[in-house]
Amino acid sequence: MVAVPEVEGLGRLVQRRAEPVPAPRRRLVAVAVSPMELLRPESDLARIIGESGRVDLLIARDDAPPPAEVPGPLVSPEVVWVDPDDLDEDEDYPGFDEDDEDDGVAAAVAALDLPDLRVHRLGLPGRLGPDAADMLVAALSELVGFDPEPGVYCVSPAPAPGDPERSAVVAAAQRIGRAYGVPMLRYKSLELSVVD
Beta bridge partners of 186: 156
- The C-alpha atoms of residue 18 and residue 83 are separated, in whole angstroms, by 79
Taking the complete model, does pTM exceed 0.75, yes or no? no
CA distances from 68 to 3, 11, 34, 71, 166 (A): 86, 80, 19, 9, 20
Angle between helices 164-180 and 133-144 (to 10 degrees): 40
| Average pLDDT, 10 consecutive residues per value, the chain (196 residues) | 55 52 69 89 87 88 57 60 62 51 76 88 84 89 84 89 88 92 85 52
The secondary structure of residue 86, as a DSSP letter, is G
Of the CA atoms within 13 Å of residue 29, those in its CB half-sphere come to 28
SS3 39: helix
Domain ranges of the chain: 25-63+106-196
Domain 25-63+106-196: CATH superfamily is LmbE-like (3.40.50.10320)
Which stretches of 2-113 are assigned E, i.e. beta strand? Answer: 6-7, 11-12, 27-32, 54-59
